[in-house]
Structure 1
């Protein structure tokens, strides 16, 4: 009797085990609509916040454009936020002629371009010796470059000006090129040495087994890999050098050697300031860097993306 009960229980258990469980009920239509509404509302909130920040960033440029085409009487009779009653372009012509803008523009272009190229190349050579060459005291050398990059320009101007006087580079744009090549390469060396410090040793050993020398390893193995990062550095070096004001102001005293930021400062007097002309000059000075950024925007994006993926 007991065996019959046990066998019946085991059969019932196996039957219950082989029975398929019913699928869990799917959430209702109201729940799906509620989740979809919350996701859509969250997206719109994020979009609104991003749009607000974009508007805050663009607002100063819009004010500059508005005030650049105002006459002095229109500006003094209204407010900086008011629209111009008529388009006034004499401020642009006055700035162009007063500061001899083509000369200032050319000085800024060639000095910034040379600093971008020379600073990036010097950064690569320094980082190759530190990161791949594994010189002794590598950590201390990188720390020195980092500290040098953090020093304020006010603390460097006196020894720099003294060295420029002794070498005959006073009031010479080449002094700006040399100074900012060294200053910018300090940051570039710190960045590239960190990248090359984790460079795969297997690639270097394979190149050495194939008979490649140090220069061949640098230009055929290392350079193709760090080229996107170097492109980003070159773009930053160009823009940073273009915007420099204090050291060029001290080093370049003659009108024919000065750069665009110094030309803008010449519009401000001790007791009078022509705001429309200053805005017109700022607008004209911004256009070259804006075009440069648009032209190299794809290169900058590729460099940042390549560094992130790597």
Structure 2
């Protein structure tokens, strides 16, 4: 049996290329690791100061290790802002917006991406333009309309507003995806006698389910973190959300830093838990989009 050894300039070039790729991957990995650690630094400071007493914070500063395990800040925040009520409001608003915005985005994108509505590109461009508008430019008209409709200081008003805002982005994204949907699948379903609704639920939806899952997770987290519109629209303690409750700890001339850090930690935990639960769904959605 003869064994042929590959030698010469070509083999050396391939080995050199593999070496460069290996070095490049390690460099990218180190840079990403350093960036991840830099992003975790504020959370480390928040965790460090959440269990520090006000006297310890004033004496030793925010960078020192706590001299005792101080949990009064967590209890103070829980009782002062009535955290269970605020948590329930945020869950109801964020969950409702996530589901409703995905449904509206899917129906609108189905009409634009597959239905081929006349002026489709102009309509999609309008949705893109709507995503660029700052909330500061929308807050007064939204406040006025909520007052006129009798929805001011209700969770329903915030749900409607954020459903429209999030659905604008969802429609733009899904319309772009459905614009490249294989026409052969649609024609085959139509030949089998499927109507438009059946094509949507049996053909289109299963193929874009990973993208829908990603939008659902993002819509929930984005709505959870919203501050300006809930601050203006929700003025009652029984309707306010977690970010608004956290802002209420800061006064005009006085701020209890340990209690604020404890409140931030407590407010962050539900969002982290939600992300961890749906992490696999998010990863599958992103991977499926990359494969396509």
Give the TM bin, normalised by the shorter chain.
over 0.9
Aligned residue in 1 for 2:208: 226
Between 158-167 and 268-277, report the one with greater CA deviation: 158-167
Aligned residue in 2 for 1:289: 271
Note closer, same or farther for the CA distance 1:84–1:217 as it changes in structure 2 (3 Å cut): same
Aligned residue in 2 for 1:198: 180
Task: Provide the alpha-carbon RMSD of the alignment.
Answer: 2.2
Q: Tell me by how many angstroms 1:251 deviates.
A: 0.4
TM-score by length of 1: 0.87
Pairwise mapping of residues 81-160 of structure 1 onto structure 2 (< 5 A)?
A: 81-160=63-142
Q: Tell me by how many angstroms 1:50 deviates.
A: 3.0
Note closer, same or farther for the CA distance 1:131–1:94 as it changes in structure 2 (3 Å cut): same
CA distance in 2, matches of 1:173, 1:130: 30
Q: Give deviations 1:182-225, integer Å, cap 9, x for gaps.
A: 00000000000000011111111111111111100110010101
2:265 is the counterpart of 1:309: no
- Among 228, 243, 248, the residue aligned to 1:266: 248
- The count of corresponding residues between Structure 1 and Structure 2 is 286
Structure 2 alignment gaps of length 5 or more: 10-14
Q: Give deviations 1:58-101, integer Å, cap 9, x for gaps.
A: 11111000000000000000121110011100000000000000
- Among 35, 44, 53, the residue aligned to 1:53: 35
- SS state of the match for residue 148, structure 2? helix
TM-score by length of 2: 0.93
- SS state of the match for residue 258, structure 1? coil
CA distance in 2, matches of 1:44, 1:59: 23
CA distance in 2, matches of 1:38, 1:216: 52
CA distance in 2, matches of 1:299, 1:191: 18
Higher-Rg member (1/2): 1
